[in-house]
Amino acid sequence: MAEAFKGEFTALYVETSQSQRMDEEDRSRLRSHVRLAKKLGAKIETTCGDDIAFQISEFARLSGITKIVIGRSVTERSHFWGKQPLTEQLIANAPNMDIYIIPCQMAETAGFSRKNIQSALVLSVGDITKSILGLAAASCIGTLFEQLGFDEANIITVFVLAVLIISVTIRNQIYSLIAAIVSVLVFNFLFTAPKYTLVAYDRGYPVTFLIMFVAAFLTGTLASRMKRSSRQLAHVAFRTRVLFETNQLLQQKKTRNEIVSATAHQLIKLLDRDIIFYLVKDGKLGTPKVFRTEGDDIPEAYTSLEEKKAAQWAFDNNRHAGATTRNLSHASCLYLAVRVNDTVYGVVGIVIGNQPLAAFENSILLSILGECALALENEKNAWEKQEAALLAKNEQLRSQLLRAISHDLRTPLTSISGNASNLLSNSPSFDEATRQSLYQDIYDDSMWLINLVENLLSVTRLEEGRLNLNMSAELVDEVVKEALNHVDRKSSEHTITVSHEDEFLLARMDAKLIVQVVINLVNNAIKYTPAGSHIAVATRKDGKWAVIAVADDGPGVPDENKQKLFDMFYSGANRIVDSRRSLGLGLSLCKSIVNAHGGTITISDHVPHGAVFTFTLPAEEVRLTE
């Protein structure tokens, strides 16, 4: 019918206060109906309430259902005052809705069936004791009222109250009916003339007894029904709270393992069963993760080959498998796919044991797994977005490098080729001073290219973790002195000073790399400051750190550029003195080297103008031996 009318197919299960008392035969029949509905493509929904016809009609009204299909018993009401069949109640509650009734061979019982009576007549010592104590207390209070001269109506009220209290405290409803009957007999025996007999002289007493029984029975029945309803609502509230908590928890989790762990613990809270979780990795089920309700030992049966086959079947077919299903039902766990539409992100195994899942538990379970699947999908999308951003950044860096090489390397290469061509063609006509100048230009440009390549290779090795550090304790002043011997030849146009607060300042470092850091910082100051500027290199000790600072009195660095200054390929907006742009590798290399040593590098303003580059290294204690 759903296909013919091009509508949605929904299978509704109404959980009543009696649902917990279903025997295994009824539970098995319910599970088979649920499986059949799923097989036919139905969406399973669950509501709660004792008035089944009202729950069905209200669900249909609120959900926009237009047609209801329901089975009808072939039996009729056995007597006038019997309860109407469900189909008649539904027609009365939804008169304006299309209701299709299909004859069913299974009898729909009106009132108590034999099985219901047998289940109700359960011998309970606790309920019997509570009933006896309640009626005994009512008898004592009634006797006291009689001695105080109270009217019989007050005594009757006491017995009605006793039946009400008994109905609230006992578990089996049948005892409230028995208590109502016994209360009438006790009242007749103790408080009507002749006393201590079950005979009543007054012709009005039978009516009194009948009204008393009806009042006691109705109040007891209503109390028992309210108690069952409150217990049922408590279960519903707990399950709803678990579902709400799951939604909040999964929103806070970032990684796949955190999502899986949070979902498993929520399922344990809901079902009180062990959980096995298989995550999908590279299109295959990964290693199972077992979450126990108590204890840490993992039974071998949970991860046996048979269980893995059931989990694999659920993954391959995107359907339930294992216990309580028709697919590999000999497994000890029920396996469900964690999926969004046709995409499966994992498989959850639930240890069934001897107690299958209730229908309402199954509904909440599917909702939690749906939340888990959405969280895993969001995590996957976030990871893919991060990967795409990283790929875009790498592509941008590659484009910047190619653009810088094609633009910035043209000048030194043109200078080298031009000077070499002049020497080859016109060397005899040049005087010695001109030739030396051309040789020097070729040498400077080639050294600039060599330093560029060395910096680029060093940055690459450091970023990939392939550069091995040869750590040792070195004198900081000797490292600085060695570095100043290899700075740019234009250093002669600047005034470079060196100061050391501690004569013997030791630091743990790879001396070759730290020499390169100092060279890059000093060369950076030479490039970006005009001729005649002052460059100061200072060292000192600050607690556990050796501090090295390179300061200049040039134009300085704008605040908006300081955050990006140590990024690869960033050269800022400053124009270099000799009009040759930098590829922005020197400071990036310095940061990578210093970070590899466990230190930090920063830039700050030099008062009154200029910039100060400061980096730290782990200090070593000076040990003197005689």
Residue 109: the pLDDT is: 46
pLDDT at 211: 79
Burial class (CB in 10 A: 0-12, 13-18, 19+), 570: middle
pLDDT of amino acid 580: 44
Give the tokens for residue 515: 């020499």
Q: How far apart are CA 328 and CA 306, in angstroms?
A: 9
Residue ranges in the chain modelled with pLDDT below 50:
78-80, 107-113, 117, 119, 574-581, 626
CATH T-level fold of 10-115: Rossmann fold (3.40.50)
* Closest among 603, 619, 620 to 611, alpha carbons compared: 603
Handedness of CA 193, 196, 200, 205 (dihedral sign): positive
Across the strands, what pairs with 278? 347
What whole-number distance in Å separates Cα of residue 620 and Cα of residue 626?
19
Return the DSSP state at 547. E
DSSP 427: G
DSSP state of 184: H
Which DSSP letter does residue 486 get? T
Distances (CA, A) of 280 to 248, 333, 346, 367: 23, 18, 5, 20
Q: How many residues does the chain have?
A: 626
Structural contact between residues 30 and 13, judged by C-beta atoms closer than 8 angstroms: yes
DSSP one-letter string for 19-45:
GGG--HHHHHHHHHHHHHHHHTTPEEE
Whole-angstrom Cα distance, residue 15 to residue 92? 21
Q: Residue 398's CB: how many other CB atoms inside 10 A?
A: 11
Cis amide leading into 412 (omega within 30)? no
> What residue ranges do the domains of the chain occupy?
10-115, 122-231, 253-383, 410-464, 472-620
Model pLDDT for residues 382-425, shown as the tens digit of each residue:
888 888 887 887 777 667 666 656 655 676 788 888 889 888 88
Contact between 537 and 518 under an 8 Å Cβ cutoff? The reply is: yes
Dihedral sign, Cα of residue 567, residue 568, residue 569, residue 575: positive
Quote the CA–CA distance of 38 and 41 in Å, as a whole number. Answer: 5
Given this model, what pLDDT does residue 107 score? 45
pLDDT digits (tens, 9 = 90+) for 201-210: 667 777 777 8
The topology under which CATH files domain 253-383 is: Beta-Lactamase (3.30.450)
Phi, psi at 279, each rounded to 5°: -90, 145
- Nearest C-alpha neighbor of 160 from the set 223, 235, 70: 223
Strands 284-285 and 343-351: unpaired
Q: Which CATH architecture has domain 472-620?
A: 2-Layer Sandwich (3.30)
CA dihedral 239→240→242→243, nearest 10 degrees, is 120
Contact indicator for 570, 524 with CB cutoff of 8 Å: no
- Cβ distance 493 to 523 under 8 Å? no
Amino acid identity of 69? V
3-state SS, one letter per residue, for 368-421: HHHHHHHHHHHHHHHHHHHHHHHHHHHHHHHHHHHHHHHHHCHHHHHHHHHHHH
CA–CA separation, 439 and 433 (whole Å): 10
- SS3 string, 335-369, reads EEEEEECCEEEEEEEEECCCCCCCHHHHHHHHHHH
The reply to whether omega before 608 is within 30° of 0 (cis) is: yes
| Assigned token pair, 355 | 């107690």
Q: What is the pLDDT of residue 458?
A: 67
In whole angstroms, how far apart are CA 340 and each of 320, 374, 577, 578?
15, 7, 61, 61
User: How far are the Cα atoms of 206, 210, 221, 362 from residue 152, in angstroms, in the given order?
Assistant: 14, 15, 24, 54
Strands 289-291 and 545-552: unpaired
Residue 136: name the closest of 114, 117, 158 by CA: 158
d(CA 523, CA 485): 12
pLDDT given for residue 37 in this prediction = 85
The answer to whether 539 and 502 are in contact (CB under 8 A) is yes
pLDDT of residue 254: 84
Q: What is the pLDDT of residue 465?
A: 64
C-beta separation of 348 from 246 below 8 A = no
CA distance 536 to 548: 11
